[in-house]
């Protein structure tokens, strides 16, 4: 995809220095490059060596720029990512180094001319200085959220994140209440213990000069577009909340999990062990690169895995609080734990190829901290998720998945967040043995992997955060906007119904509201002039004026039925609502024309011509696609009135 002249664009990507941010931005860089664009990805030397792998066929399109961080007194010499910090107290100093080095490099690149000049800058939350810098050089900026829509909605509008206005959070308790701008019932809010742990590091200014919330608020507020790493099938209602909060384009860009293609060197034995297990029987346990379990938490998880009786593979990291205590074995595990679970459980220390493990057919469950990266991977692989949130937005993510019936949250003490081995074991058995959450997560995995949800080809193209709509003709922009909005309407309503008939009824209702409004607007333009209130007059009005306003052309034909005097037909060879829509084979009877039928009915009913209006496919000899006919059957009162008028 290129600009209006067909050339490629140059996109600069600025991830925050955390594994869970660098990896998704790297995956995004690959996807942009595969569309024919050039990408500059900001990184640091150490992060590039250990994380960033560019396929050879994309090496000419992706440039990784290694930026050396300045030396700071309190920042360890080799610390280039949050995982390198021995204490969370040092995070502000990593942000100081990031701000200084990355902002200077961005300014330098934005001053380049010719093909090296960026067309877009896509930023993570931490680069709050980037939108203003880009604006000074006339380059648009897009914010890419690696949080889901529910969590981002909960944290509120940009001014609230910056500590201003009605929705500023001034105390931890404010984070335990669902905001009043959420128009539906939900449990997506922090527990008390989560709010207390999050409040200071998240919403109070730190030694970098601003709070984490302030970075989010400025990055969102000053960017032209907000991309959300999510899907409408998962978070449609929350995406609508964000639309109202931000008052700018909010685009779900998909989950884009990393493909299961990592090098498995050193983990061959783990793969062979998985090969010997029954299909879908194994629990994979991992808690991300950011969360640091305490010794007590680690022991409790171990005993819970043991008590569950389920086969498991555990990506183990050492506890945050150091040396082993009495009763602990190697790496903080309970004494004798590995011997007792030998054969049933496998403990892997250090880095593991997580996407490869989750994609293995024997893995059916995922015990996770509910980080959005891990959720994205779990959803894409179709595994049942048991959720043990530990920090940041993870509690909100867990509540979302429970509401969606695609995850089980571990029971915890509401006051201090502690949990027992039984809580872990019970949650695992609920997911793996009772199969709660299994069906829904498989459905979402199929959508992510195979595109089974009704999709919109050109809408996806134009909805991309890298599009440059101002360079396109007005008609092209209007068509792309219509296609995108209609696709969102269809996909949202599809998640709310169980059958095609109900989906078409919902589309008809939506179209009816459009018809009412179109009639109001067109009659207002007439400035009181009387319109012919005869049956053929209103039909001609729809066939020509309404059709042209909505679809840019007059309808192909208007005909009277040959069998019944009360029937008329408006036909289109290629109805606009069908042009961009790809319908799965198992929904072949679905007709998007129901939306247009609703529009026609809305106009007729409110103009005083009540009728039953339906949409039908009519095969055309010699052509693959049928035409769409809108069949109008007028009420008897309309026909009687026509007869009286002569």
Which of 41-50, 231-240, 562-571, 588-597 shows the highest mean pLDDT?
A: 41-50
SS3 158: helix
SS3 313: strand
Least confident residue range of 65-69, 370-374, 381-385, 435-439 = 435-439
State yes or no: pLDDT of 151 exceeds 90.
yes
State yes or no: pLDDT of 591 exceeds 50.
yes
The count of C-alpha atoms lying within 13 angstroms of the C-alpha of 180, restricted to the half-sphere facing its C-beta, is 3
Q: Which residues contact 484 (CB under 8 A, 6 or more apart)?
A: 456, 459, 462, 463
pLDDT (mean) for 254-266: 73
* Spacing of C-alpha 511 from chain mean position: 26
Q: Can you give the pLDDT at residue 158? A: 92
Which of 338-352, 525-539, 595-609 shows the highest mean pLDDT?
A: 595-609
Look at 284 and 258; give whichever has higher pLDDT. Answer: 284
Cα–Cα distances (Å) from 65 to 41, 52, 173, in that order, read 6, 11, 42
Mean pLDDT of the chain: 83
pLDDT (mean) for 72-77: 88
Report percent pLDDT > 90 for the chain. Answer: 37
Q: Can you give the pLDDT at residue 382? A: 84
- Tell me the C-alpha distance between 345 and 489, whole Å: 46
Q: Can you give the pLDDT at residue 622? A: 63
Look at 524 and 342; give whichever has higher pLDDT. Answer: 342
171 phi, psi to nearest 5 deg: -150, 155
Q: Can you give the pLDDT at residue 179? A: 93
Dihedral-angle region of residue 309 (phi above 0 means left; psi in -120 to 50 means alpha; beta otherwise): left
- The string of pLDDT tens digits covering residues 454-507 is 333 333 333 333 333 333 343 443 454 566 567 667 777 777 777 888 888 889
Which of 35-44, 260-269, 430-439, 542-551 shows the highest mean pLDDT?
A: 35-44
State the virtual CA torsion across 443, 236, 28, 402 in degrees, nearest 10: -60
- The string of pLDDT tens digits covering residues 429-456 is 998 888 766 666 766 666 555 433 333 3
pLDDT (mean) for 144-150: 93
Q: Can you give the pLDDT at residue 564? A: 82
State yes or no: pLDDT of 110 exceeds 70.
yes
If residue 407 lies in a helix (H) or strand (E), which one and from where to where?
strand 407-409
SS3 557: strand
pTM greater than 0.75: no
- The string of pLDDT tens digits covering residues 34-69 is 888 899 999 999 999 988 888 899 999 999 999 999
Contacts by residues 316-320 (CB-CB < 8 Å, ≥ 24 positions apart): 316/347, 316/348, 316/349, 317/287, 317/292, 317/293, 317/349, 319/292, 319/293, 319/294, 319/295, 320/292, 320/293, 320/294
pLDDT (mean) for 407-431: 92
Q: Can you give the pLDDT at residue 130? A: 94
- Tell me the C-alpha distance between 617 and 435, whole Å: 41
pLDDT (mean) for 137-157: 92
- Tell me the C-alpha distance between 268 and 264, whole Å: 6
Domains of the chain: 268-448 (3.40.50.2000), 489-645 (3.30.1380.20)
Positions of E strands within 97-188: 120-123, 141-145
- The string of pLDDT tens digits covering residues 508-523 is 998 998 898 888 877 7
């Amino acid at each position: 995809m290129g600009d209006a002249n067909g050339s490629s664009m140059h996109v600069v990507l600025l991830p925050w220095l955390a594994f869970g941010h660098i990896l998704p931005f790297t995956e995004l860089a690959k996807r942009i490059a595969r569309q024919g664009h050039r990408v500059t990805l900001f990184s640091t030397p150490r992060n590039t060596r250990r994380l960033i792998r560019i396929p050879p066929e994309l090496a000419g399109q992706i440039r990784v720029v290694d930026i050396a961080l300045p030396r700071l007194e309190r920042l360890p010499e080799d610390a280039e990512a949050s995982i390198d910090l021995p204490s969370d107290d040092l995070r502000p100093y990593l942000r100081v180094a990031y701000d200084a080095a990355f902002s200077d490099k961005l300014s330098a690149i934005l001053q380049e001319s010719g093909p090296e000049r960026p067309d877009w800058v896509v930023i993570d939350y931490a680069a709050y200085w980037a939108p203003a810098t880009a604006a000074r050089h006339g380059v648009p900026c897009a914010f890419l959220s690696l949080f889901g829509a529910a969590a981002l909605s909960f944290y509120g509008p940009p001014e609230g994140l910056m500590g201003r206005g009605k929705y500023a959070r001034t105390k931890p308790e404010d984070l335990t209440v669902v905001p009043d701008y959420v128009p539906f019932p939900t449990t997506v809010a922090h527990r008390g213990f989560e709010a207390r742990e999050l409040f200071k590091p998240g919403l109070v200014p730190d030694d970098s000069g601003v709070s984490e919330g302030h970075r989010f608020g400025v990055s969102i507020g000053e960017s032209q577009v907000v991309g959300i790493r999510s899907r409408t099938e998962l978070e449609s209602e929350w995406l609508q909340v964000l639309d109202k909060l931000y008052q700018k384009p909010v685009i779900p860009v998909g989950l884009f999990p990393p493909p299961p293609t990592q090098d498995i060197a050193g983990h061959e034995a783990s793969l062979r062990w998985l090969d010997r297990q029954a299909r879908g029987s194994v629990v994979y346990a991992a808690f991300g690169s950011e969360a640091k379990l305490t010794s007590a938490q680690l022991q409790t998880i171990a005993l819970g895995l043991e008590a569950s009786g389920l086969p498991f593979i555990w990506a183990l990291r050492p506890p945050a609080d150091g040396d082993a205590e009495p009763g602990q074995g190697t790496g903080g595990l309970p004494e004798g734990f590995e011997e007792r679970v030998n054969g049933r459980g496998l403990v892997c220390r250090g880095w593991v190829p997580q996407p490869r493990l989750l994609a293995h057919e024997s893995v059916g469950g995922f015990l996770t901290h509910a980080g959005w990266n891990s959720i994205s991977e779990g959803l894409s692989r179709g595994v049942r998720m048991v959720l043990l949130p530990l920090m940041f937005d993870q509690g909100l993510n867990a509540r979302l998945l429970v509401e969606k019936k695609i995850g089980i949250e571990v029971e915890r003490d509401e006051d201090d967040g502690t949990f027992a081995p039984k809580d872990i074991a019970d949650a695992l058995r609920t997911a793996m043995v009772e199969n709660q959450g299994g069906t829904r997560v498989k459905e979402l995995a199929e959508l992510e992997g195979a595109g089974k949800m009704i999709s919109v080809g050109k809408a996806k193209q134009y909805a991309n955060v890298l599009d440059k709509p101002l360079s396109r003709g007005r008609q092209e922009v209007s068509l792309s906007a219509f296609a995108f909005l209609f696709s969102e309407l269809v996909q949202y309503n599809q998640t709310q119904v169980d059958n095609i008939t109900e989906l078409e009824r919902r589309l008809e209702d939506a179209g009816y509201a459009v018809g009412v409004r179109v009639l109001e607007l067109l009659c207002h333009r007439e400035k009181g002039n009387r319109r012919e209130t005869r049956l053929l007059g209103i039909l001609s009005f729809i066939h020509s004026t309404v059709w042209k306003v909505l679809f840019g052309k007059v309808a192909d034909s208007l005909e009277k039925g040959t069998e019944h005097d009360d029937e008329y037909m408006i036909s289109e060879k290629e109805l606009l609502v069908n042009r961009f829509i790809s319908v799965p084979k198992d929904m072949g009877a679905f007709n998007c024309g129901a939306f247009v039928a609703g529009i026609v009915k809305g106009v007729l009913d409110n103009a005083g011509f009540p009728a039953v209006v339906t949409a039908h496919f009519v095969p055309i000899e010699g052509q693959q696609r049928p035409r769409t006919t809108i069949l109008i059957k007028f009420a008897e009162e309309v026909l009687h009135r026509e007869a009286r008028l002569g």
